[in-house]
Homo-oligomer: A and B are copies of this chain.
Amino acid sequence: MAKQNMIKLLYEMMKNSKRSDRGIAKIIGVSQPTITRMRQRLEKTGYIRDYTVIPNLKKLGYEIVAFTFMDTANSNKKDENMKEWIESNPKIVLTASGDGLDGKNSIMASIHTDFTDYSDFMSEFRSKWSGKIRDIDSFLMPLRGSILKHFSFKYLQPIE
């Protein structure tokens, strides 16, 4: 029951993390101190990664979100340099392994002010890690284009 409420609380915070504990307490139907305790628990146990805001990227001056997929051959040598470069590059907001799209095994999402910025980014990326990448292809999502459903975790519902 407690676990179930904690999960409920987390989904409420994904929807809106700005409400006071008291406000959420009413929705979930427990006391405010319980909410406070549960929230601290969610933070400590790592259920919550970050408190953040989802910005309007377009208003901030960004034009493109790029989803880049790669087939990276695993020659473990220079791995560390590549990892560091990716971690410290402020344009990259996600990098993970995976599977699909004609044998790709990595995804990288990056955010760019315009196509030239994307293009320069890709040239640098390719020329730096060319030896480790066998196949690479991107999908460009324009931020001023038609976005039917803006990215958010608020749509998710607790797993039954």
A interface, CB within 8 angstroms of B: 7, 10, 13-18, 45-56, 59-64, 67, 69, 73-76, 83, 86-87, 89-105, 107, 109, 111, 113-116, 118-120, 122-123, 126-127, 130-131, 134-157, 159
Contact = CB atoms under 8 A, between A and B. Distances in A.
Nearest to A74: B127
A146 B101 CA distance: 18
B115 A140 contact: yes
Copies of this protein, total:
8
11 contacts: A14-B53, A15-B52, A16-B50, A52-B54, A74-B123, A97-B147, A99-B118, A100-B137, A100-B140, A102-B137, A113-B159
Contacts of A122: 99, 105
